Amino acid sequence: MRAELATKSLGTGTAKSWYEAGVRSSIVWYDEVGTKSKLTDYTPVTEAEITAYLAMPGVAFDATKAMDQIASQSYLNFMKQPQEGWALWKRTGLPNATTVVPLPPVSYLGATLVIPRRAPITLPTQSDPNYANKKAAYDAMATLPGFGRDLTDASGRVWWDKP
């Protein structure tokens, strides 16, 4: 997040320094998990390997691709927290099919699936004591641009998910 903020001249430090610190921290964390888990045939990561990774094409910081690289590396880090990766994708649109770490299309029975932007919403039953308030809130949300076709449209956006 600090690397992303630095790309917008917010906060302290440079996008490059925060990006590299974040990538390094992620690798060290996953290495620690691998080491402490006593995985069979696990080989700990060396400092030289981390340095070499940070120098690889597509990984070495490039200010012209800063958000692409920051989001792609963040997405990889969030493999342990898929909801965070999903929120990152919804917030930035990255990664995608053309980013440094491409997000491949997912298909089922020949149809390309669309990543949902929100959970489908269902109205409570009319016997719910708070039915009127919930319905009024859902009706108000449905008037917002990008909300979707209806409450069950998982491709619709929620209030903070602005295009």
Tokens describing residue 89? 């994708």
* HSE-CB of 91 using CA atoms within 13 angstroms: 15
CA–CA dist 17, 121 (Å, integer): 42
Tell whether omega for the bond before 116 is within 30 degrees of 0, i.e. cis: no
CA–CA dist 157, 107 (Å, integer): 22
Check residue 53 and give its pLDDT: 98
Tokens describing residue 139? 């009706």
Helix (H), strand (E) at residue 47:
helix 47-55
Check residue 54 and give its pLDDT: 98
SS3 113: strand
Check residue 155 and give its pLDDT: 86
List the domains of the chain with CATH numbers.
2-108 (1.20.120.840), 116-163 (no CATH)
Amino acid (one-letter) located at 76: L
Do 147 and 155 touch, CB atoms closer than 8 A? Answer: no
CA–CA dist 67, 155 (Å, integer): 24
Check residue 91 and give its pLDDT: 87
CA–CA dist 123, 126 (Å, integer): 9
Token pair 């990766």 is at which residue? Answer: 85
pLDDT tens per residue across all 163 residues of the chain: 999 999 999 989 999 999 999 999 999 999 999 999 988 899 999 999 999 999 999 999 999 999 999 999 999 999 889 899 988 998 898 999 999 999 888 899 999 888 888 888 888 899 999 999 999 999 998 898 889 999 889 888 877 777 6
